[in-house]
Amino acid sequence: MPKGDVKKGFARYLLILLLIIVAAFLVTIVVMLFSPFKNILGFQYMVYNTSDRIFRTTADQPINFSTIEEINIDCNYSNVVIERVLKLDYDAIGIENNCKGFATSKDDTSFNCEVYFSDESNKILNIKVSEPKGFLFFDKEINIKIEVPATSNYSLENTRINIINTSGTINVGNVYQLSNNPSQSNVNNYLDINNLSIKTERGSIYLNEFLENELEYLFIKSSSGSTTFRHENMIINQSLEIHSKSGNTKIQNITYNGSNNNGLVFDLNNGKLNAYGIDGNIMLNINSGYLDIENLTGSLNANDSVVQMNNATITINNIDGDISLPFANDSKINIGTMTTNSQIYVRGNSSNVNVEELRGKAFIETKSGQVNIHSYSDDLDIKTQSGDINIIYESQTLNNQLNFKSETGAVNLSVLSQLAFALFAYDNNGNDSSNIYVEFQPDKFSNPLIINNGSKYINITTNGHISISFIY
């Protein structure tokens, strides 16, 4: 037989074998689809389409949220919802399971939800969920709901709620108004949760519009999940902690009414936090993340020597308070307006510091970073190694003195033409600077140079270029 015919025959048999394998696979799939949870060749197809409301615990004890001090929800990829519900007469725990997908025969595809009290006084309610396991899901939706009747007088105000999951979405509070019907005037759209703790790995967290705007304690810890404050104005009375490794946090407005200087803790690591308005002092821990605030009424402190900044980016458009960043390292600091009597302290390596409108003091020390400040009052003390110092000083008087020092960086200073001061300019060896330009002054320079009969000092030390210009 010719070699060509042998090759054609082999290819034909190979094609037939492949078609048989594909047909067997398809038949197996069809059998599995019509026989859910049946073990076929080491695989099984699971399908759930269940919905239930639980009014009593696993031990047949009644559930009444108004008598419960703490609710603990522990699950994996389940979604968690806390909401008010119409046409519901009693407090309930809603369970919805719509999972569909393939699993191996060794996977536990069972679904179980245990509801039990962990103490004899029935004050602590635990909800523990075991979800089906598989390797290929077509639908992976399980919803665990804390359901409060819309006509109930109780709003969970005295119940601490703790939620732990891995990847499910967490919704707290209703998204839409339940009823606009005047005949249903007894319908309450809001929940008044005062103590809320959420821990998740990848789950998205939403604090919704119909959650009352005042909380005592709020704790959020996420790895890569996002957190969204949908409430336009939220008030925190005791403490707010947000811990995020790499997730995004979006805030509209938060006001802190407590007495703790560390009442607002933002532990962002490599995450991002965007806020329109924050009223309160912020304790910040950040590595290479982003902090972006439009308006901050309060101070910003990141002074933990253990958890230092790396190459973070901090942007604040308006701040009425102080900034303290002694471990900025290679971060970028961009500040818009700082109000009267505010102070900014930054110490870093290649930190770039920009302040567009400063009405207080500035103490900046960086190595190769550039410093740009537009000041309208008070003292400045700026040090760099090779970074340039660019200062616009529009105050009509000097409070005490301005100090600028750089090893090799340029110092460019613009002041009002009527400002009275005594200028001292030296190189790093203590000699009169020979690399200086003063507008409308002779090239030769000797210390001090008296401008407008001034006696308050402007001190500049650098081997780099010095330029003094006037604003009219």
pTM for the full model?
Answer: 0.89
Q: What digits encode the pLDDT tens for the residues 351-407? A: 899 999 999 999 999 999 999 999 998 899 999 999 999 999 999 999 999 999 999
Percent over 90 (pLDDT), the chain:
80
Whether cis (ω within 30° of 0) applies to the bond prior to 448 is yes
- DSSP calls for 333-363: EEEEEE-TT-EEEEEESS-EEEEEEE-SEEE
Give the pLDDT confidence of 140-184 residue by residue, as tens digits.
999 999 999 999 999 999 999 999 999 999 999 999 998 766 656
What is the arithmetic mean of pLDDT over 65-76? 97
pLDDT exceeds cutoff 70 at 31: no
Sort strands 43-47 and 100-104 into parallel, antiparallel or unpaired: antiparallel
What separation in angstroms does the CA of 30 have from each of 23, 36, 100, 139? 11, 10, 15, 18
Q: What is the mean pLDDT of residues 47-56?
A: 95
What is the rounded distance in angstroms from the CA atom of residue 209 to the CA atom of residue 139?
Answer: 28
Q: Please tell me the predicted confidence (pLDDT) of residue 1.
A: 45
Give dist(CA 251, CA 273) in Å, integer: 8
In the chain, the amino acid numbered 69 is E
Handedness of CA 457, 462, 463, 468 (dihedral sign): negative
The string of DSSP letters for 110-123 reads --EEEEEESSTTS-
CB burial of 81-103 (b: ≥16 within 10 Å; e: otherwise) equals bbbbbeebeebbbbbbbebbbbb
User: pLDDT value at position 32?
Assistant: 59
Least confident range of 101-105, 222-226, 284-288:
101-105
Q: How far is CA 399 from the centre of its chain?
A: 39
